[in-house]
Structure 1
Amino acid sequence: MGAARPNPIQWLWYAVGGRLPARLNEWVLHDVTCPSWVWRHTARSTVVISPFTLACLLVPGPLWVRLGMMGLAVLVGYYFSFSYMVESCEHRAAKHGHAPGTAHGIRQAAREEAHAEANARARARYDARYRQDTPAHIAPDAETR
């Protein structure tokens, strides 16, 4: 990851769906693939959800109704944000010049690398238990084919 990062105004624009300058394309890919990509997505979602949530306070009516509206706005906003988190990050990366599927591929490769040793141990245990030599009375007969 290079030293190029967006300034706060650029980041706010990026958080609400804007496109950053081309020199920040690598930072965008890092943003949607780093180990903390879910937290970064949450921060971007919070920037989008907050104005709508705070606007609920301006609606006339009892405080409990306004607080209920705020709660529902947060609940629905985060629900849809997290439901489409992967797609949103893929679109964000594609919008900044990366091939579709690049972000998911990078995250998948990192996940596989992080869990390679544990997966190998689990595979060895599985093979030892279920992939032993097949008994002759169960093996398919070559002559019956």
Structure 2
Amino acid sequence: MTRRSQQSAKALRAADRENDGVLVSRTGSYEPPPREKCRQKQWEQPYDDANSIRLQFILWRRDGRLVEFVVNIQKLTADGWLTIEYFDCCHGHCHLHRDNAQLPPETVERLDDIADVTTAFGKVESQVHDRVRIIRDKGA
């Protein structure tokens, strides 16, 4: 026979196990609204004087708030611009897809609500220049 105090302790342990999984997870619960209901803004920013490598920003806003973004690092090839690496925010986290497609995406920020998207974009802005410099220097 289980006593009442044992029942509550058992329920508390079960809730702790469930919360541990959420806290350790790199993916959050945020899901952006459908893109067709958002305003899209896109621009390109050359990174070098030869215009051989650039950053492409694609942002989606709804009601004046940033709800989703993609930042592409692109290299000019004979066939046009080729995306080498990119940052995006889907599946509940902002992450970097590296040049080596065999590596899993690297999480930049967990996304649990709309405010996390703006925070993640700030982090991406600071990291993207390091990534593009590395790609340029290795001659990707």
Q: Which has the larger radius of gyration?
A: 1
Higher strand share: 2
TM (normalized to structure 2)? 0.27
TM (normalized to structure 1)? 0.26
Higher helix share: 1
